[in-house]
A and B are shown apart, each in its own frame.
Chain A
Amino acid sequence: MSPEQFDNLMQAASRGDKKAFGQLANTAQDNLYRFALSAGLPGHLAAEAVQETLLRAYRLRKKWQQDSRAMTWLCGIALNVTREYRRKCNRAETGVEVGALIGLAGSTNEVNQAEHAENLAALARALEQLPDRQREALSCRYLRQMDVKTTAEIMACAEGTVKATTAAALSNLRTIMNIKIRNHTDHSNYF
């Protein structure tokens, strides 16, 4: 479904069309789930966060303004929800569950798969050590492949702030990951 069609559904939903909102929710739930996983929530909490996000969106559907993309608006709500869930749950529980995700993605070579999963898990653990805003910026920009403008809308800040936060996050991440990369024998194939 194109962003325009998605916006049209949201427009219909904001006028009171409940079926349109149901269709919109069914379309958006996978994206929102991945967004919550990227924010470092474990699978079961990510699924709960999707439910909570959709419920809040349902309550606020009449307040949606057409000058922003519906999916961006939903991700903005999802970001607030994931922040709340991260605050509630134990710090040890958070972090991208790379093992399960790699299993889903599939790989022909089991040795490569294990090594790949280990490296990505190290990266996910390093992400968890970043400050919240920096982690959110990296999550939107690189894990969800969003542009600077969309990330700024979701994080409710200026585009310049997003660029500065992303640069600082990468620098911090490099510092955290530096030792691992240096110790690795074949540097070019680390990830």
Chain B
Amino acid sequence: MNKEHNEPQQVGEDYLDLVVGLEKLGRAIDSAEYPGRAWSEPQKSNTKWLIRILTASAAAAVVICAIALHNRFNTPEAILPQAATTLQTEAIAMNVQKDEPLFNLELPANLALGPTRPVKITPPTASLPEITNISPAVSVDFQPPTLSSIWTR
């Protein structure tokens, strides 16, 4: 009789012991602190920025290449034949003869080339003769382009 009476009490004590033990284990765990570093933004955002920078660099490289190619095909050497063709077309439209100058260039009278008074230049060595009284007469031999000269280009 005594044994039957004590058995449920014993079971109850066992459960109580277990619960107390579990709570003590829980308290022991409560003393633990997270050993890792504090939270920081996931690395994905850095990767995103890296991808953005690379994309921008690639776009800049494409633009630079495009500008370079554009300049390569629009140099004076590339433009000159086109300009000549345009000039020829305009000359034909204006009924300009083949050997007639396309325009006349007349220098104004006051535009004298060279010094107007003698200049004495001392040479670095005595052996060389002194150059004195340099003539101001400098002629400009300018031939305006003719239609035939353009044709020959």
The CA of A30 and the CA of B31, in the complex, are separated in Å by 10
Min Cβ gap B14→A in Å is 5
- Residues B39 and A143 in contact, CB atoms below 8 Å apart: no
Q: Does B20 contact A (CB under 8 A)?
A: yes
Partner of B32, one of A34, A54, A55, A178: A34
Stretch at the interface among A64-72, A75-83, A101-109: A101-109
Bound CA–CA A30/B24 (angstroms): 18
B residues in contact with A10, CB < 8 Å:
none
For chain A, the count of residues having a C-beta within 8 Å of the partner chain is: 45
A163 CB to closest chain B CB (Å) equals 14
Chain A residues near B27: list those with CB within 8 A. 105
Residue B25 CB within 8 A of the other chain: yes
Given contacts A32-B34, A47-B36, A138-B22, contact A98 B28 (CB under 8 A): yes
Instruction: Specify which chain A residues have a CB less than 8 angstroms from the CB of B41 in the assembled complex.
Output: 18, 22
Which single residue of chain B is at the shortest CB-CB distance from A189?
A: B17
A191 close to B17 (CB less than 8 A): yes
A55 in contact with B18 given A104-B31, A105-B28, A120-B28 (CB within 8 Å): no
Cβ of B19 < 8 Å from any Cβ of A? Answer: yes
Complex alpha-carbon distance, A142 and B21, angstroms: 9
Give min CB distance, A175 to chain B, whole Å.
10
A165 within 8 A of B: no
- Chain B residues contacting A43 (CB-CB under 8 Å) are 32, 35
> Which secondary structure characterizes the binding site on chain B?
helix
B100 interface residue, CB < 8 Å from A?
no
Q: Does B108 contact A (CB under 8 A)?
A: no
Contacts of A62 in B (CB 8 A): none
Q: Mark A11-34, 1 if CB is under 8 A from B, else 0.
A: 000000010011001100110111
**A27-59, CB under 8 A of B: which get 1 and which 0?**
001101110011000010001001100110010
Interface status of A133 (Cβ within 8 A of chain B): no
Interface of A: prevailing SS: helix
CB atoms of B28 and A142 under 8 A apart: no
Among B13, B19, B21, max chain A CB count under 10 A is at B21
Q: What CA separation (Å) do A54 and B32 show in the bound complex?
A: 18
13 inter-chain pairs at a CB distance below 8 angstroms, sorted by A residue, are: A21-B39, A38-B29, A47-B34, A47-B35, A101-B28, A123-B21, A142-B25, A143-B22, A143-B23, A143-B26, A174-B18, A178-B14, A190-B21
A residues apposed to B, CB below 8 Å: 18, 21-22, 25-26, 29-30, 32-34, 37-38, 43, 47, 50-51, 54-55, 58, 96, 98, 101-102, 104-106, 116, 119-120, 123-124, 138, 142-145, 170, 173-174, 177-178, 181, 187, 190-191
**B interface with A by C-beta (< 8 Å):** 11, 13-15, 17-36, 38-42
Besides the contacts A47-B34, A102-B28, A174-B15, what 4 more A-B pairs have beta carbons closer than 8 Å?
A29-B38, A34-B32, A123-B18, A174-B18
A-B pairs, top 4 by smallest CB distance, nearest first, are A25-B39, A142-B22, A191-B21, A143-B26
